[in-house]
Structure 1
């Protein structure tokens, strides 16, 4: 799924637990119903044998855990240690908790949590855009009758341009092209004061 060049949307409408949560990470966009659950935990199996067999099995399970962590890390940007701790705790998440942990991109049917803008590979939540808009990031229409679909599209395009320009200026100062992870990190820093 991850290698598919087209769009792929994962919709979690029930329970994405254990291996199902790993599969969900492969979607280019991951949506979750507000009534759904996601659960992550350590790899497990049954083993028999002497202490050497148990040691080998323990090593095998730790390797499987690392593979699972790699899938979560690509999606969430979290550290290995943080993800391992969540797996150790057998973490169950509501849709709201999953979006807070960056495990999903949107909560289905809930506009307040939907990601509505993308700049390059960075997705911005609606609440961030609203805060920027309310702090003067957009030129507000003179009256509400001016607020139509075309005006909103124009406001969005201006916002995207401002963010791209800001990122380009930062990159030129650093004289290097950021990786997608660095771009995401730069955007996080840019909006820290908006929270």
Structure 2
């Protein structure tokens, strides 16, 4: 099946590729799904990035899995859109196929939540998982105190729902998971296994770290991750910056109410799948 490129914009507003998601059919009864880059958002979340269709493409893929009883999900992602990732997690969790997640290199931020959709999670000894508090970024946007408080309430709901999801695979108490999330914790193989029900295997020398535009927003990034960041694209021209500003102004708060309603639906769904038996 097709490879889906994830597009993003650097701080100068220039569009560039930040990774890809690849979907492959392996046999008649199994399929492979690869997340090798930043997690893209749904189209309702941002009209800027017309290529950010990851949740929609995953849905299309799952809808066409006729007779497939097992899905192998490979993750090497530095994170991305919280609500895009939540949508992907919910769709994978709803699917009846047996799901095996392989953290090939790194599952950071919302990518670690997607990993929890697996019935089995397999982690090489040198693979990395990062869990932290969800956050909002504001680009060419100003908000008043009431709007910021509303965003903070939404982020608190996100964290609660995400921690419930972590707890479906946790070996330790919710308080300990919550503390690790608040601290922004970077974990490798055996450390991941201390917190979560995962299977640790031999180190994978083949998997390289997936460069991410989100690395700069993380606080406790290990040196080895910093050294493997994606190269920054060349500086955008003033004309490109002006166009980016114009697009931001035109976009404004378009479809804001729809976005809020969609967020509520996704969070409610995530909370449902985060409940333990």
Correspondence list, 1:74-153, <5 A:
74-76=168-170, 78-102=172-196, 104-109=197-202
- Partners of 2:174 and 2:146 lie apart in 1 by 27
- Partners of 2:114 and 2:174 lie apart in 1 by 18
Listed as ranges, the gaps of 5+ residues in structure 2 are 1-91, 204-275
Q: 1:54 Cα shift?
A: 1.6
More strand by share: 2
Structure 1 residue runs of 4 or more that deviate by more than 3 Å after TM superposition: 77-80
Residues 1:22 and 2:113 aligned together = yes
CA RMSD of aligned residues (A): 2.0
TM-score by length of 2: 0.37
Q: Report the secondary structure of 1:42's partner residue.
A: coil
Residues 1:6 and 2:97 aligned together = yes
Asked if structure 1 preserves the Cα contact closer than 8 Å seen for 2:171 and 2:195, the reply is: no
Listed as ranges, the gaps of 5+ residues in structure 1 are 111-180, 183-195
Q: 1:75 Cα shift?
A: 1.2
Pairing partner for 1:32 from 104, 118, 123:
123
- Partners of 2:188 and 2:180 lie apart in 1 by 14
Q: 1:3 Cα shift?
A: 2.7
- Partners of 1:29 and 1:81 lie apart in 2 by 24
| Cα deviations by residue, 1:91-111 (Å, 9 ceiling, x for unpaired) | 111110001112x4211238x
Q: Report the secondary structure of 2:148's partner residue.
A: helix
- Partners of 2:177 and 2:102 lie apart in 1 by 22
Asked if structure 2 preserves the Cα contact closer than 8 Å seen for 1:18 and 1:39, the reply is: yes
Residues 1:54 and 2:148 aligned together = yes
- Partners of 2:109 and 2:123 lie apart in 1 by 16
Structure of higher CA gyration radius: 1
Q: 1:8 Cα shift?
A: 1.1
| Corresponding pairs, count | 111
TM-score by length of 1: 0.52
